[in-house]
Structure 1
């Protein structure tokens, strides 16, 4: 049942994003910012953690999860370090994921032949 819940939740998020891209004039970059910001706001409101418990990775993997990770990191850093935590918490919490994306992207560019769009 975990896989089913993750599938429908992730699929619903992706379908809503696709509708936004198809039916509005929003550019993909702005939709991505909207998703990260939404994850942050949902984390702040306390809605995101119960959602993760209910549907698992279906809500944790998309960009909503990245926004929530940033929020959780900032929240912990502010509690620990005070005001300066606002600036360092998001970096600390997301460093492993961002580093992995950079490393794997670099490795993929060596394996595959990247081409510019014409």
Structure 2
């Protein structure tokens, strides 16, 4: 059942984002920022954890999950380092995911022949 919940929740998030892209004049970058900020707000309101337990990867993989990870990192860093944790907590919590994305993107650029759009 975990796989089914992850599939339909992740698909629903993607479908809602696609509707936003098709029916509004919002640019994809702004929609991405909206998703990350929504994940932060849901995490701050303690609503994201129950959602994450229910949906699993369907909730943690999209950008909502990235926003929640940023929130968790900032929250933990504030408790351990004080005010300076506001600035370093998000970087600490998301460093592995960002590094992996950069490394895999670089490897893909070596394997394939990337071209600029004309």
TM-score range, shorter chain: over 0.9
Aligned pair 1:79/2:79, yes or no?
yes
Structure 1 regions of 5+ residues with no counterpart? none
Q: Which 4+ residue blocks in structure 1 deviate beyond 3 angstroms?
A: none
Partner Cα distance (2:83, 2:52) in 1: 28
Deviation at 1:97, TM superposition (A): 0.4
Structure 2 regions of 5+ residues with no counterpart? none
- 1:51-86 per-position Cα deviation (integer Å, ceiling 9, x unaligned): 011111101100000000000000000000000000
Aligned pair 1:38/2:49, yes or no?
no
1:24 aligns with 24
Structure 1 residues 1-118: aligned runs within 5 Å: 1-118=1-118
- 1:24-53 per-position Cα deviation (integer Å, ceiling 9, x unaligned): 000000000000000000000000000011
Q: What's the Cα RMSD here?
A: 0.4
Residue 64 of structure 2 aligns to a residue whose secondary structure is helix
Deviation at 1:7, TM superposition (A): 0.3
Partner Cα distance (1:41, 1:29) in 2: 18
Count of residue pairs brought into register by the alignment: 118
